[in-house]
Structure 1
Amino acid sequence: MNRERILAGGIAILVMASLLAIVLIPGAIAETASDDVRASHLQIEDVSIEPGSISGGTATLAVETRLDHRGGPAENVTVLVRAIHADSGFVETTTEQQVPTIEGQREASVTQNISVERRGDYRIKTVVFRDGERIAEGTKEVSGVGALKAGYAETNIAFHWQDGTSDFPPVEYSIADAENNRTTLNVSTYLTNQGDDPSENVRVVFTARQADSNIVANRVSVPVGKIDAGRTASPVASLSVPDGYNYYLDAVLWKDAVVVGSARSAANLDPSETLSVNETNQEVKLSVSDFSDDNAPKSKDRTTTANDGGQPGFTVPAGITALLVGGVQLPGGNMTETESNSMTQPNDEPTTKPTGRKNVQEYLYRGALVLLVFLAIIALFQFYMSVLAVIRTFVADQYRPLFNAAFNLAVLLATGIGISYVVRKID
């Protein structure tokens, strides 16, 4: 009996012994859990901020955090939202919310309300924790919080021609009468309902304020009532003021007992001096910056390979190196006897040389052979690592080293068969 048969018999004995061990040894097969045990991965996909209820001193911001989930169930996850004042750096408020278990490859939304003072700008920081460990965080900046109007001060009525782009003043006046060192001014303005519903009952208070001393010369309140949607009202009032002075004409819009708007123009009654209202009305709105991911998720998950279990195995770089060495030696490796004789006998008649087409075909075949050998090595490597992965998956932990040793011994015996056969052929 030759060596190859002895080694093949050893392989067969190992395979049979392994199968019998799996069947006969209690607990050799690992118990597979029905739950998804894959590591979960969470990251912040986006954070959106919208204004909520607004009071006189505070503003409520609704912060929606969208979490992108991959892998197994994510349990014990909490989301912390913190508002930090941009100028002082002090923490204004903090809220934390527990997130229900997230399963499946999907996005989960977590909405939290935070209340901040209606002043300055803020940085909204979002932090995600899993099992008490920080895994993701990001920030957004919010500016113009003070421009948010409280619910009691909201109205759809606005002064016309107050955007600074029109040549018309928001408050107009004409001289109705001038006698006894006093001038009577007819003062008017235009109010437009920019909403879709009729407005509340409103009124306008017109005030003539002496420009140099800022003394109120006269004041009149004019009821306006309700203004239909998309309509404009033009309240008018008469103000009697002393001659020879310049005045600021102020129009203040009231809803119930709350000031909801104002406008100003100038009345020049002093011929030696001209007064103008050098004010630029710039509308300030709530502004939210783009979401900034402060750092990549601090997850301890890593990409694992089939050789992570510490088992020996061939590597792809080693196989590629061997192929490159063989490929370099292959084209010039087989010298025919005719070529050898032609080199040692220069005076003989020249031998017939292969045609160029035959050389091209030979190199193509050799290149194909190299490619196929390379693919075979990759397939063999993948098969080896897959078998190790199967052992790690289905064999219990306490018996896993024994089965790994049996498999590696079988591979060693199979390699011995190949080595024995090659050596015998060479001899």
Structure 2
Amino acid sequence: MGKKRIKPTHMLILMSIILLFSSGSGCIRSFEEESYYNIRDMDIAADRAGTSFVDLNVTTYVEKYQGDTEKNTSLLLKVYSRESGLLEVQEEVKLGKLKKGETKSVSQSLSLPKTGGYDVRSVLFEEEIQKGSGEIKVYNLDFLPADAQDIGLEISEMDFRVRRVEDGKVLIESDIYLTNEGKKTSQDFRALVKVREMDAGLLADKVWIQTGEINPEATVIRSVNLTMPDQYNYAVEVLIWNNDTIVRRGEDYIQLHPEVEIKDKTATEAKKIQTSEFENVDEYEMVPEEEYAEEPTPGFSLLLSAVLLCSAAVLRRRFG
């Protein structure tokens, strides 16, 4: 008895039935392997500790241990207060596409109030799908010592005005702009303002002042008078002291005898400055307290005279 041959039409029907059955049973699946990630580790360090805030650097190690396809990934860093549970800050960084077996380290910087502790959480996303997370805790930031030179104050600018020129000497009023870039009111620091001739390095004058307490994000002006010989060039330096340590420096220049390039730019020559032409005297100057006693007050004298005349009239009427 011979073998029966399957007709092509029957073969096509049979293959269609097999394909339909296999699809329903899950035998045929996508050849795209799903991606899996792991937050292997997290490190945290204090880059800078101020009096009221701290700059933290958080490093997250991301590993892709499964998945052939490469899709864009991102890491979202979220920081929660351990006391209130509220979200303090969050920052996102793009990682790009990771290959299977690749481990990538990601560093993120953030600034936080130096109070209590925080829960720092890294959340990994592939496209819009969360793929993993890791967490690290920070405790007792308020006990972290502040950097010795971090006072929150910056010397942002200086202005100079000629107040008087006399006998070859110049009296210059120096306005010093102090800005509090910290997050709380600054302390009252001592500051030394000194003026030094630029070529010889000789000190012409120096004055101590107090910075005063300055509110956060505020700028104040502290003024000092400096006396120096005319027709020299000077460097004005401001040194802010915290006890016995210089914690901030600022410098600017007064050129009363500057050098300028001549036309062919092959040499320089000194330019004579008529310092007296810049003399700036306020219309109403403060009078020293000791001078008030020497000058009579017209209004008070007239009043006193009127009182004496009235008293004399009363006495004459009573005893006349």
Which structure has more relative contact order (CA 8 Å, sep 6+)? It is 1
TM-score bracket for the superposition, by shorter chain length: 0.3 to 0.5
TM-score calculated relative to the size of structure 2:
0.39
- Greater helix percent: which structure? 1
Higher Cα radius of gyration: 1
Larger strand proportion, structure 1 or 2? 2
Q: TM-score, normalised by structure 1?
A: 0.31
